[in-house]
Structure 1
Amino acid sequence: MRLPGVSSLQPRSLMGQMLLAVAAALLLVQGLGALLVYRAQREGYQSGMTNSVAFRLIAETRGRGALGRMLREGGDRDRTPFAGPPLRGFPLEFSAHSPLRPGETQDADIAKRLERIFAEQDFPASQIVAAHRVVGRDAFSRAHIEMRAQNGRISPSEADEIMAGHLLVVGVKQPGKANWMIARVRSPEAFGGMIRTLVIQTLIIYLVLVGAVALILRRMTRPLAALTRRVEQFAVAPGSAGQLAPAGPEDMQRLIVAHNAMEARIVAMLDEKDVMLGAIGHDLKTPLAALRVRIESVEDDAERGRMAHTIEDIVRTLDDILSLARVGRPSDPRERTELSALVASVVEEYEDMGEPVELADTQRIVLELRPTWLRRALRNLIDNAIRYGSQARVQLERHGERAVIRIDDDGPGIPDDEIDAMTNPFTRGDPSRNKATGGAGLGLALARAIADQHGGALVLANRLSPAGEVEGLTVRLELPLA
């Protein structure tokens, strides 16, 4: 059964919802942590790349000293005097045109970083541009790599790997000079591997923590699920199976022990009730049977008839009371029954007696039920329809996952504020309890109890005309198909 307001995508079990909440919280926390680490390392690598570019440009400008010799001799193997990764750049290019291509987005953040570094190093720069590219899509870098591959300094596979990497291109134009100085630096390999490492680390932590929580929740929810099944079984058939063995954490074990004790007390009370009802039925029916015999000696036929009718009323009411009390603990098992045939046979009984009962269209429906109890419920509902509505129309149809027996009458209906109370024992629309106007008010209560016994429901509703006037009462006896 689906609960209202619960999404079909959301787990409906306690374990599923707790795991979802824990997993979402862990994912959020670990994701934020990984994001912060990633941003910090990315900031470090960007600073290193920016420093590498600045070092190349400054060393080239002041290149006749030690820095220039180190740059020319060391190439991309040496480290900068600034903080950052090893130099992974290309030779400087001097061009009359800006390295920024049409439609290419400039990295303003790196440009500002370089501007601050140049200002600190007294390096004049009137214009600074920075852009990111794939190495293989930069003609100057591609030609340099192809040359190194032809010279045997790198292997073809290494060349292909470099071609697919990330490239930072920076162009600087100094005051009074016509050409741009263009520096190129590849992103360090560690930066690409950092993202993969963070993802793997996050997944490992996530799986370990969620797995541990799942094991703990499973130990808690397994006995809880067993207890739930036991309560559901006990609600349908009290005392039908042995008690549940305590399991799980100490709190859960105490709950199961308390439930077992409560269940034992309920079963004992039900057993005492059955014994008491049996004794009451026997003790009352015996003198009533004796009265039936004794009234035969009454000479007045009218008086004798009234007395016999009164005794029958008492016996019928007593049977209804005993049936209502025992419906919660049926002794007969469910049988696979063709419901349409059962409904037709009940309607046929009334037709044979000349009662105004009509069988409308029915659908063939087979399900597990207790035929004796269901016949009793149908008779009570049809009797009410005839008594209050002059006639009864019976119909069997399938609505979704339920079989619905519908009984319509043409009576005055029931006031809307009294419909819910009409299925309570000893409740009647007519305040009298004369058998001619409705008996003791147990028919609907017994029918509702039988519907509950089968996991179904009894629904009462007034049938309205297009003008809004009550045309009669519709009673729906709904039974689950599975």
Structure 2
Amino acid sequence: MPWPRSLAGQMALLVALALFMAQAINLALLLRERGAVRMAQITRPAAYRIADALDQEAAGRPVVSDRGRVRLVPRDPITATMQTQPAVARELASQLTDMGVRVAAVDVAIAKPWQYVIPLSRFERRMAMRAAHEDGPRDSIVIAVKRTDGRWMALAGGLPREDLRLFWRLLGQTLILYVVVLVPVLWVARRISRPLRELAAAARGYSPAAKPEPLEESGPPDVCAVIAAFNALRLRVTAMLDEKDRMLGAIGHDLRTPLAALRVRIESVEDDQDRLRMADTIAEMNRTLDDILSLARLGRPSEPETEVDLAALVDAVVEDFRDIGETVTFEEAERLRMRLRPSLIRRAVRNLIENAVKYAGAADVSLASDERVASIMVADRGPGIPPERLDQVFDPFFRLESSRNRHTGGIGLGLALARAIVEEAGGRIVLTAREGGGLVATITLPRV
């Protein structure tokens, strides 16, 4: 049986197992007590009859009467085919000793109806026939006692029948306990687990872009306290993110202002080569600043989702690179309507193509789709990336020094920003080695 994963299931199973163990122990104790009572039912009357028979013999009266059960026999009536009962024999011997009756040996066995070897009186035969007619053949307990003078005394009697009502009573008690205990336990567990499930769903579905709605505080006081703490935490996180956005906006404004001033001042530099290098440095700083701000603001985009043609969007990005003379090809694809944030997806595709152009000189772009996902592939014939580094290159500010230096590789935010954009849209981006050399970057976006 699989272990339940829910709180209610685990509590119910543990309580059920505890009740089962308790009832099993209770049954063992009852059976032990029942065995002691059954032993007393067998041995105590037999001990009294044997003591009474010996008293009658000491008084000069015969041992056996028509209604008696104790009689003298020439030998031990218990045969090898009978089922001996040494525990009963020891108990009977102990009781005879307590009563002051001295005997040489006690032997007890259970005999089947056809194993009787003791001659019965007329009364005993009549009672045996009546019992057989009413209840069917019954096993008998045969008791043989060897006296100190060497003679044997024997008696036989019916075994007490097993009382099956004890089992059914215990089963009924168990079912009642399960109903009385498990129903409240399941109710309490559900009362606790329902708000916890809602809390887990709210935590998983938390989005910085959405306005935080307070979660209803329900359940026991401890659970209500956890939900209240979560509501307060979500408000604090949202306030921190708002403050971060304001700070990033201020940083972007404060940095772009002096960069713009520098861009104006370099126009007075007479050396054309120095002026161009300064302009490139300022442009690179602006791009780096844009990447850092874009990466920091992801998760709280200001651009709403709109329905766009993904094929047209990718084709427009490719045309931008063609306009500046880059070798970028695009396989024509059918119109593909999707809901997404076009500016961010365009930025992710542009970063991938830009990487391919920088490190391979050209890029091959294609688009494929099925009923569930759409895939954008950007392939190149560059030096590639070692397999053990394919995931590491998505880390911010990570660069492969051996093949991508500062001059060609920026500061290592392009792939990190592309992955963050794609994952924010519910998709994924992977890098794989291209057959024949090079690299293939694949963006996979869900269509629904």
1:11 corresponds to: 4
**Secondary structure at 1:186 match in 2:** coil
Unaligned runs of 5+ in 2: 117-124
1:265 aligns with 2:244: no
Residue pair 1:238, 1:329 contacting (<8 A) in 2 also: yes
Question: Structure 1 CA distance, aligned partners of 2:260 and 2:173?
Answer: 86
**Match for 2:184 among 171, 195, 212?**
212
1:117 aligns with 2:95: yes
1:148 aligns with 2:130: yes
Q: Determine which structure has more spread, i.e. the larger CA radius of gyration.
A: 2
1:184 corresponds to: 158
Q: Which moved more, 1:57-66 or 1:267-276?
A: 57-66
Question: Structure 2 CA distance, aligned partners of 1:52 and 1:366?
Answer: 97
Instruction: Show the 5 A alignment for 1:152-231.
Output: 159=135, 169-172=141-144, 174=146, 181-187=155-161, 189=163, 192-231=164-203
In the superposition, relative to structure 1, how do residues 123 and 380 fare at CA in structure 2: closer, same or farther (>3 Å)?
farther
Question: Structure 2 CA distance, aligned partners of 1:240 and 1:215?
Answer: 33
1:45 corresponds to: 38
1:243 to partner: Cα distance:
0.8
Question: Structure 2 CA distance, aligned partners of 1:322 and 1:476?
Answer: 24
1:231 to partner: Cα distance:
1.6
Question: Structure 1 CA distance, aligned partners of 2:174 and 2:96?
Answer: 39
1:437 to partner: Cα distance:
1.7
In the superposition, relative to structure 1, how do residues 204 and 303 fare at CA in structure 2: closer, same or farther (>3 Å)?
same
Question: Structure 2 CA distance, aligned partners of 1:425 and 1:254?
Answer: 38
Query: If the length of structure 2 is used for normalisation, what is the TM-score?
Result: 0.66
Unaligned runs of 5+ in 1: 1-7, 74-89, 360-364, 466-470
In the superposition, relative to structure 1, how do residues 110 and 415 fare at CA in structure 2: closer, same or farther (>3 Å)?
same
Residue pair 2:142, 2:156 contacting (<8 A) in 1 also: yes
Instruction: Show the 5 A alignment for 1:435-474.
Output: 436-454=407-425
Query: If the length of structure 1 is used for normalisation, what is the TM-score?
Result: 0.62
Instruction: Show the 5 A alignment for 1:62-461.
Output: 72=67, 102=81, 106-120=84-98, 122=101, 124=103, 126=105, 128-131=107-110, 138=113, 147-148=129-130, 159=135, 169-172=141-144, 174=146, 181-187=155-161, 189=163, 192-234=164-206, 236-278=207-249, 309-310=280-281, 312-331=283-302, 346=314, 353=322, 355=327, 373-374=344-345, 376-381=347-352, 383-385=354-356, 387-388=358-359, 411=383, 413=385, 422-430=393-401, 436-454=407-425
In the superposition, relative to structure 1, how do residues 348 and 278 fare at CA in structure 2: closer, same or farther (>3 Å)?
closer
Question: Structure 1 CA distance, aligned partners of 2:106 and 2:330?
Answer: 98
Question: Structure 1 CA distance, aligned partners of 2:9 and 2:291?
Answer: 46
CA RMSD in angstroms, aligned pairs only: 5.8
In the superposition, relative to structure 1, how do residues 150 and 114 fare at CA in structure 2: closer, same or farther (>3 Å)?
closer
In the superposition, relative to structure 1, how do residues 184 and 342 fare at CA in structure 2: closer, same or farther (>3 Å)?
farther
1:90-137 alpha-carbon deviations (Å, 9 max, x no partner): 999x999966675x76444333323433454537475624349xxxx8
Residue pair 1:131, 1:170 contacting (<8 A) in 2 also: yes
1:288 to partner: Cα distance:
7.6
Residue pair 2:107, 2:143 contacting (<8 A) in 1 also: yes
**Secondary structure at 2:159 match in 1:** strand
Letter in 2 for 1:187: R
Question: Structure 1 CA distance, aligned partners of 2:115 and 2:194?
Answer: 66
